[in-house]
Structure 1
Amino acid sequence: MVHEKQYPLTGKRFIDSKQRGKARCEVGWNWHPAPLADYDLWYVVSGQGTMRIGERSYPARKGACFVVHPGDQPHAEQNLEDRLTVIFIHFRMADALGLGGSEPSVELLHERVVYVEDTHEFEMLLHRTLECSYQQPLWAEEEFDCLLKQILIALFRSQQRSDSHAAVSKKQAQAIRRVVHRIHEGAGHRFPLEELAELVGLNPAYLSKLFKAYTGVSLKHYMTQVRMERAMHLLTETSMNVSQVSDALRYSTVFLFSKQFKQHYGAPPSAYALSSLPSRPHH
């Protein structure tokens, strides 16, 4: 069962407070509002400064994303030699089933700030959220809710990697994503570790260590999982039989394929095969 404290998005929807934008902070700017009535996602695009929330002070630099909660009274200042450019998005949180109005403040993150490593993809999400206000009203509320959830999931993952001391550099993260893409591209093939390491110019043992640090699972386990997911798709959504799927996924024997499939899913592949349909080539 998923614990609410670990996954605070469960059963929630996010409502646009209609206050968002991107701005380069003016000379003489500082931010010290009254206690907030809603949440504020406050992200530093560039520049340097400090943010104080409660008794804690945090560096405000590129990639810093603050989640300010209702009742917080933030105080931000900037370095005049390197002025801040920030994106801010105010929102409220409510029950996903619409069984009531706005909920009281829920701790979305156990720290008010996450320092995002992959700023390019994260900023694309933020800009898409800003653009919601310029789109036609049809589905605007649903789009805002979906984008906020994607943003918060990205923050949870960044924080989780940081908490487990498994953070890797931006360059290393790009290498891992390239390996992941290669594995999915050839889902039916178990790549030799040496081949994947050569793809990204890393030592095989070091690649294994980085992969586990970044994803939380071993490279071998991840390849098996992708392979099994492909097997399940072929068995349940095509007319291929167990023997054909085993061959397509390059297993040496049907017995070995069936054994690994049963270990992974708890039932043999024959339990899922669409055996009632005639076999035909898969194009």
Structure 2
Amino acid sequence: MYKIILVDDEKWVRVVLRKAVEQTKLPVVIMQECGNGLEALDALQHHQADLVISDIKMPVMDGIGLAEQLALKSVNVILVSGYDDFQLAQKAIRHGVKDFLLKPVETEAMADCLRRWIQERESREEALRTDISVINSDELSAIARVQQFVMANVHKEISLTDAATLVHLNPSYLSQLFKQQTGGKFVDFVIEMRMDEAKRLLVKTSLRVSEIAERLGYADISYFSTTFKKITTYSPLEYRKSGGMPKEKGHM
């Protein structure tokens, strides 16, 4: 249900507007009535609303003044005006006023106006959801490409900058995005993929541990062995002797 605030300095007009809104049977509810624009602004500080239906001429703060205050907010405004001030109402377009209703406001006119507003609102929300979906899809695609890049290049020196260049992203942003999408750091993923390759080479080949370390970019065999043990809880030789079956510790 979309929430509406009615604003008019005459109570009987608010009664007429409320009746017209309720008779439309549209998914809207009037959450509050106010006597002028200032009261409406105060109400909006305490309650969330989607739409304000306001008279254009009121004391303290009129409808155009209210529209000016709400121009940068997510609350839309529909102004109610008489024939004499219709041109004044037209000027309010620059303040983001969505539509106008001419007095006396009848149910059919109110229904048409609200339907247009609801349709525009739902179209905008759908477009926003689509944009977010596209962004999320692009981000997931970028992370998948980075992961494939790492797995295909475990024998090379791989940096975050290299990966960021591949997917045309800022390295810092990619680092944040990678952790957000995978739950782990980019550097830890690189190490994990290298250790997966090390496990494969230990079991499937007769290469010496030093040769495997060198293939994976580790000049220091001691550092390689320490990293391997941190991942698997076994030294490279112990892992080879076990045939690759020892129980492994969780990811870094």
Instruction: Specify if TM > 0.5.
Output: no
> Which has a greater percent of helix?
2
> Shorter-chain-normalised TM-score: which range?
0.3 to 0.5
TM-score (norm 1): 0.37
Look at both structures and tell me which one has the larger radius of gyration over its CA atoms: 2
The structure whose RCO (Cα within 8 Å, separation 6+) is larger is 1
Name the one with the larger strand percent. Answer: 1
